[in-house]
Amino acid sequence: MTGIGYDVHRLVEHRPLVLGGVSIPHRHGLEGHSDADVLCHAIADAVLGALGQPDIGHFFPPGEAACEGISSLLILEQCRRLAAQAGATIINVDATLIAEAPKILPYRDAMRRNIGKALGIAPERVGIKATTNETMGFIGRQEGIAALAVAQVDCNAGPF
């Protein structure tokens, strides 16, 4: 089964920028109830979609006190548990960050390791790419960052 995910968060002052579980030096961070890791959120929705589950807001409601400030890597770990409960195996994920800044390449390998560990897959099965929005729209004006993701899940062992 295949799932797709999308997430977007506004860039704001006085917040750390966390992408793929990595704190990245930047003048702005992402606004959100959790750590606002847009990359992990898109991947989580892709995995949940492949499992036929609701989105991350169902499992981690944005207003819930227990979710405030949590690492989005914990959200990915919960996706891995849900897959295991369904008798499914996460095969791979592929994601694209859309941002004008910062440059992602120096942090990509650390992101792949973090995400792979959280999902229980090898880092080589985690694709992470980045692109800009060519200075167009809210992303081009550096008002936010978006992420797209695809996940492949083997559901042959489960009830699917």
pLDDT digits (tens, 9 = 90+) for 87-118: 999 999 999 999 999 999 999 999 999 999 99
On whether the CB atoms of residues 91 and 1 are closer than 8 A, the answer is no
Assigned token pair, 118: 């959280």
List, in order of start, the domains of the chain with CATH numbers. Answer: 2-154 (3.30.1330.50)
Q: CA-CA distance, 75 to 101, in Å (whole number)?
A: 25
Whole-number pLDDT of residue 160: 46
Is the confidence at residue 21, as pLDDT, over 90? Answer: yes
Report the predicted TM-score, pTM, of the whole model to 2 decimal places: 0.95
Whole-number pLDDT of residue 68: 87
On whether the CB atoms of residues 18 and 37 are closer than 8 A, the answer is yes
72-85 vs 108-119: helix crossing angle, rounded to 10: 40
Dihedral-angle region of residue 137 (phi above 0 means left; psi in -120 to 50 means alpha; beta otherwise)? left
* Residue 157 pLDDT grade (very low, low, confident, very high; cuts 50, 70, 90): low
Q: CA-CA distance, 101 to 19, in Å (whole number)?
A: 12
Q: Is 96 helix (H, G, I), strand (E, B) or coil?
A: strand
Share of residues in the chain with pLDDT > 70 (%) = 98
Backbone angles phi, psi at 23, to 5 degrees: -80, 120
